[in-house]
Amino acid sequence: MKRVARNTSILKVSPAFKSSLEAVGNSQQFPPAHILFREGGRNAGVFLVRSGKVLMSVKSMPKLDRVFSAGSLLGLPSTFTGHCYSLTAVTIADAEAVHVTREQFLEL
């Protein structure tokens, strides 16, 4: 399983956008192995990782697995399109994430 480098900006949000997401979203604590969303599942919005680690994976394609940490915004493409999620996001450690529904996100 590959990790996204600490210095990369892939899926990272700016401080201003992070504040906006935190203001409208619902912060939740998740134990390890909690599924935030599942590949093929109906879109429920985005998740901003505040702490911990989340594995993003594609069924039957483990070479594409990636681990994301604090500051990452997950579920963005399907939230824009309204289509089902194309990846599965599962916590691999205790994590805190801000859930922002699709409607709240699109209003931002």
Phi-psi label, residue 30: left if phi above 0, alpha if psi -120 to 50, beta otherwise = beta
Please report which residue ranges of 1-108 form alpha helices under DSSP H. 15-24, 76-81, 102-107
Can you give the pLDDT of all 108 residues of the chain as single tens digits? Answer: 555 444 445 568 889 999 999 999 999 999 999 999 999 999 999 999 999 999 999 988 888 899 999 999 999 999 999 999 999 999 999 999 999 999 999 998
